[in-house]
Amino acid sequence: MKTRYKVLTALFLLSIITFLDRVCMNVVSKYVKADLGLNNEQFGYVLGAFSLAYALFEIPTGVLGDKIGPRRVLTRVVLWWSAFTGLTGTAFHFIYLIIIRFLFGAGEAGAYPNASIVISRWFPAVEVGRAQSVIWAAGRIGGALTPLLVIPLVHALGWRWAFLVLGIAGVLWAVGWYFWFRDIPAEKKGITAEEVEEIEVGRKQVATTHHVSWQLILRNPNIWILMLMCHLFFYAAYFFTNWSATYFQEGRGLSEEQTKNFISLSYFLGVIGCIVGGYVSDVLTKKYGLKVGRRTVGMIGLGLSSIFFLLSGLTTDNESAGYLLAICVFLKDLTLPVAFAVCVDIGKQHSGTVTGAMNFAGQLGGFFVTILFGTIVQKTGNFNYPLFLIAGCLAVGALLWLKIDPTRSLHSSDIEK
């Protein structure tokens, strides 16, 4: 196996752990709310604390990765969030839980921007989309495994111990990463000269100064449109991350077993969506160019997902709603690796910064929908109103792909043909 694929395997494991830790709170929501006496509006603020912190620390951590390298930053990121994953199990009060989840989000911020830096340094341009699809497919595997692993743990040990077990897994990954990985391919022991040449000739990232002008980013309409698309996209993503268990059990009256199955099905379909989206985008890019390759997949994924979200909210059959929402995950996740591939297309040596900017906007969307869902449900008693809102956001996000130009790099004078 080529060394870069071993690196991708490490990132694959990282992404699984990331989503195990992230989705766990959704899966155990009914136990946490019952234990601490929280209603849906209060629980929305608990969930939103993570999203807000993730958004605030996303860009700084992406910039830090561009400056000092993803080896040290990812080690810090994983150790930090693993510690606060474990501490989540010590929660005894509403405010304490908000603080812990905020600090958890601050720690996890930067994981995917720094993974994008690794890809920009370790992979030729023609493999970027597929590499991103593998990372995001792994996240979906983590989401699918969460209810299958966590619910038995909760029944055996209680919800508090489940968080401690997940925290230990992250610590083990961080230690292995720090001692094994190297930021520059040529510095990695055991890599062949042929593979180093293959990477360096064909990669997006090029050697240059680490300085990036924020004025250049803030005045770049291409990045603003990309950020807005991601913001709207994450309204859907965070419904599944934070609220799907509550929606199925309280909104649709499904059992815990049915809920577990639908959440797992959703994320397993997301695995397929990520792989298909990244692969198709790279194939179309090779045949028709970056614009067609990235835009086509992005528009189709979000556009069709919007329709299925709407149908999910309109159907009166509870199991049909579960299957429709699972298809939504497949469709929207066609777009996910493409969006992060565009960050590498645009950002090149500053891919961590551009990814951080896009993900910052996305996490703000996650924060808003997390708060809105809990508030709307608490005030109206209707669990389907938020789904109509999400459907509208996805429709607008699909149209924004017409304006996203992956051929225009961060530096306006550097245009790829």
Burial 282-321 (b: 16+ CB within 10 A, else e): bebbeeeebbebbbbbbbbbbbbbbbbbbbbbeeeeeeeb
Q: Which residues contact 193 (CB under 8 A, 6 or more apart)?
A: none
Cα torsion 363, 366, 368, 371: sign: negative
pLDDT reported for residue 55: 84
Q: Confirm if 410 and 346 have CB atoms less than 8 A apart.
A: yes
Least confident range of 172-181, 208-217, 304-313: 208-217
How many Cα atoms occupy the beta-carbon half-sphere of 102 within 13 Å? Answer: 10
pLDDT reported for residue 213: 54
The residue-averaged pLDDT of 402-413 equals: 77
Q: Confirm if 12 and 134 have CB atoms less than 8 A apart.
A: yes
Residue matched to tokens 């695995």: 271
- Measure Cα distances from 338 to 35, 133, 179, 281, 329 in Å: 40, 8, 31, 7, 15
Judge whether residue 305 has pLDDT over 60: yes
pLDDT tens readout for residues 323-370? 999 999 999 999 988 998 888 788 777 777 787 788 889 989 989 999
- Measure Cα distances from 174 to 83, 129, 395 in Å: 12, 25, 39
415 band by pLDDT with thresholds 50, 70 and 90: very low
Report the Cα 155 to chain-centroid distance in Å.
28
Among 15, 100, 7, 106, smallest CA distance to 340 is for 15
pLDDT reported for residue 62: 78
* Range among 133-137, 218-222, 386-390 with highest mean pLDDT value: 386-390
Q: Report how far residue 142's alpha carbon sits from residue 119's, in angstroms, rounded to the nearest whole number.
A: 20
Q: Report how far residue 111's alpha carbon sits from residue 75's, in angstroms, rounded to the nearest whole number.
A: 10
Q: Report how far residue 136's alpha carbon sits from residue 129's, in angstroms, rounded to the nearest whole number.
A: 11
Q: Confirm if 42 and 167 have CB atoms less than 8 A apart.
A: no
The residue-averaged pLDDT of 133-148 equals: 87
pLDDT tens readout for residues 203-235? 654 444 445 556 666 778 889 999 999 999 999
Judge whether residue 152 has pLDDT over 80: yes
Q: Confirm if 406 and 294 have CB atoms less than 8 A apart.
A: yes
103 band by pLDDT with thresholds 50, 70 and 90: very high
381 band by pLDDT with thresholds 50, 70 and 90: very high
Share of the chain above pLDDT 90, in %: 54
Judge whether residue 411 has pLDDT over 70: no
Judge whether residue 26 has pLDDT over 70: yes
Q: Which residues contact 205 (CB under 8 A, 6 or more apart)?
A: 117, 120, 121, 344, 348, 349, 351
Q: How long, in residues, is the chain?
A: 417
pLDDT reported for residue 216: 67
Share of the chain above pLDDT 70, in %: 94
pLDDT tens readout for residues 267-282? 999 989 988 998 899 8
Phi first, then psi: what are they for 68, rounded to 5°? -110, -5
Judge whether residue 125 has pLDDT over 90: no
pLDDT reported for residue 290: 87
pLDDT tens readout for residues 44-93? 899 899 889 988 888 788 788 888 989 999 999 999 999 999 999 998 89
In the chain, the amino acid numbered 195 is: E
Class of residue 171 by CB neighbours under 10 A (exposed 0-12, middle 13-18, buried 19+):
middle
Q: Confirm if 15 and 113 have CB atoms less than 8 A apart.
A: no
pLDDT reported for residue 214: 60
